Structure 1
């Protein structure tokens, strides 16, 4: 179901025509925030210079309430911000079937519901905060319970500027155009996450393929889908249990690799065929952070009930690299559980578990620039840092910190806001966009 005004229809149509005329290029992608962790997959805005100081009254361009609950980080293309949310209705299913929850099936330990939800994709005008359109892609009861601090819309969407891919885990992936029309949908079945903590892995879009990592307590798979049709190009079974990490794609030495982090193994598979290229020993349980890449080096990490970080030279990676010099260095303390790291200008920044302590290492050799520095005002957080130019932005409950990038730790600004943030900051041009529990914010210097 889709709703929008005639004016909004014309505006969205004009955007599509303009974009299709200009065509998709890497340069165009760097001007946008096309998927989870941005255009490079590293949490870095390639271009941009948003304000370092803002508040509910200072440098606030607009603030728009968003119905429902969704911790997915938004994406941005052109004039449209794409948000995912799950809105509870007052309706209940007539009967409990295999397509809905039951205590015996789900082993629930988190938040559960007996209400039907509307899974929505919402488009917001980047310049004024007006809602351009919203599309309900599914109206059903959640199949999974979720963590008490989670949501049923925690998977971030992706786009190539032509199509939008909204993924809701057990409620499928949905392909829409930039007017909010549903073009195709695909259902993968029902996930069974560890401790019923809910779902959160995001799709990864690269060239003509869309990758979905389906790691759970049942049969786990890596899917490669045709982005135009949703048809499976290949599908790999995995001896993995629950993870929330997302796939990552990198080109090196003339070969395109799809890389996944998990508990049993780190794996690289061929982009076209799914053939295994290399593998390494896995990380901790409940892997969440994505692989990240810069200057030939891949970094994988996790921090649930332990700490693990591997720095891998992809030029040397072939076969089982567990005990080879392809693993250049390791780090085994203060790594993140939920938040993803940031990789910028030869330095890797990450938080300790889900806590407000920041570490910065040299990506080349793992040398500590600083370790376990306290982020004043932040105790617990679930969002990931975002970097641009010479600074990092970190959002948590009622607060955003601006941190100096580089070898020396320094808090540049501490900003109080009237909302809580599990979504990560998004930076496009001179704007910083924050998705709170209640509202979507946009800050920029007038």
Structure 2
């Protein structure tokens, strides 16, 4: 079964969900692209208006929740505990939680948190990745199915990449740090099927914000399954290059050089292209999937020194839309990489910085900043800000989640459910 067949199997599982239920089963949604088929989503709310429920969180966190039917799944830390929560999507009540202790030393950037990765579900199991604490699979009642000890993770900024499922695999991007690899596990048993180890990169020249210095090196990108006309590819942004792997074997199918060695965004795909973008004033490349070997000379375009980016964008109508970390939203022409417009998004508290990834619903884009302001933009080659909705609830590094006609928003204090 290839990825296309897997999507059909998920489609039939979705049919078993309650009417009008549209799941958001993984980081960046059903296809990892940030696009939802739901179009009748809330457009106006506040801390008091159109709040269906909110659930208090014991500790701040950066992970984005996922939704399947009447369940919301969230990774959550509490001291040394690494937990997976299952909440009732209708009222926010806690249905069950699991807990494991972080027994190995861990390091995190002051702005990063434990449990930074989102869980993933296929409707039969839910998988949570807790860095050095391990990889865990549970059934939808919270019973543990298997666990895998992945070993030490020693990067001073911690981890963030989320696990990904297809018809038989669970893919994990482990790292960065001295141990950095991409691995596939049997999603039913946890048995390792393959692992690709990545050597440490030593760039001779840097063109990003660390130009003239050794600087930080690493990738916090989540793998992305891309379906071409003939095969499925597992695409990952890595220090120095964008790479595609065979999901069955781990063999590298193609690579496109031109990325800088520090990356936060996940690869973005749509309209026959894959785009990788670096962080800290890094580079961006666009290339068609489906190639073989070194495809660097076939890339559509490269921008050597680009914006600072942590969140990922969405592709629609010949354009890439993305919110840069300083808070400037940008529309980029897919064919050329040229900027069409760039506008700063500022909420009522005057803060613009953002880690969030965009969500596309019809022709509306939802994206938030760190202050908890969610902006709704028109996906169009002329800039249109449709609405600004503010939650006064502290820091918000997670991204917007649309599901079942509602929005789920994680701040450092609460998980919010927004309706009409």
Q: 1:119 aligns with which of 62, 78, 82?
A: 82
Distance 1:358 1:126 in 2: 31
Residues 1:187 and 2:149 aligned together: yes
1:357-399 per-position Cα deviation (integer Å, ceiling 9, x unaligned): 011113233343213x111233222222222112122222132
CA-CA distance at 1:189 after TM superposition: 0.6
1:51-84 per-position Cα deviation (integer Å, ceiling 9, x unaligned): 1111122111111112223211000001000011
Corresponding residue of 1:375: 345
Q: 1:144 aligns with which of 106, 117, 142?
A: 106
Q: Normalised by the size of structure 1, how large is the TM-score?
A: 0.82
Q: 2:399 aligns with which of 421, 424, 431?
A: 424
Distance 2:225 2:30 in 1: 12
Residues 1:314 and 2:314 aligned together: no
Corresponding residue of 1:159: 121
SS in 2 for 1:418: coil
Residues 1:411 and 2:385 aligned together: yes
Distance 1:82 1:385 in 2: 20
Corresponding residue of 1:264: 240
Distance 1:47 1:26 in 2: 18
Residues 1:25 and 2:11 aligned together: yes
Distance 2:43 2:335 in 1: 29
Corresponding residue of 2:331: 360
Residues 1:67 and 2:48 aligned together: no
Corresponding residue of 1:169: 131
CA-CA distance at 1:251 after TM superposition: 2.0
Corresponding residue of 2:260: 284
Distance 1:45 1:333 in 2: 31
Question: Is 1:249–1:259's contact at 8 Å kept on the other side of the alignment?
Answer: yes
Corresponding residue of 2:92: 129
Bigger shift: residues 126-135 or 357-366:
357-366
Residues 1:349 and 2:321 aligned together: yes
Distance 1:435 1:178 in 2: 22
User: What pairs up with 1:77-96 in 2 under 5 angstroms?
Assistant: 77-88=68-79
CA-CA distance at 1:179 after TM superposition: 0.9
Residues 1:299 and 2:275 aligned together: yes
Distance 1:191 1:87 in 2: 19
Q: Normalised by the size of structure 2, how large is the TM-score?
A: 0.87
Corresponding residue of 1:50: 41
Distance 2:221 2:74 in 1: 20
Question: Is 1:309–1:335's contact at 8 Å kept on the other side of the alignment?
Answer: no
Distance 1:49 1:402 in 2: 13
Distance 2:49 2:104 in 1: 39
Distance 1:432 1:142 in 2: 35
1:153-207 per-position Cα deviation (integer Å, ceiling 9, x unaligned): 11111010100001111111110111111111111111121xx111111111122
Question: Is 1:44–1:344's contact at 8 Å kept on the other side of the alignment?
Answer: no
CA-CA distance at 1:349 after TM superposition: 1.1
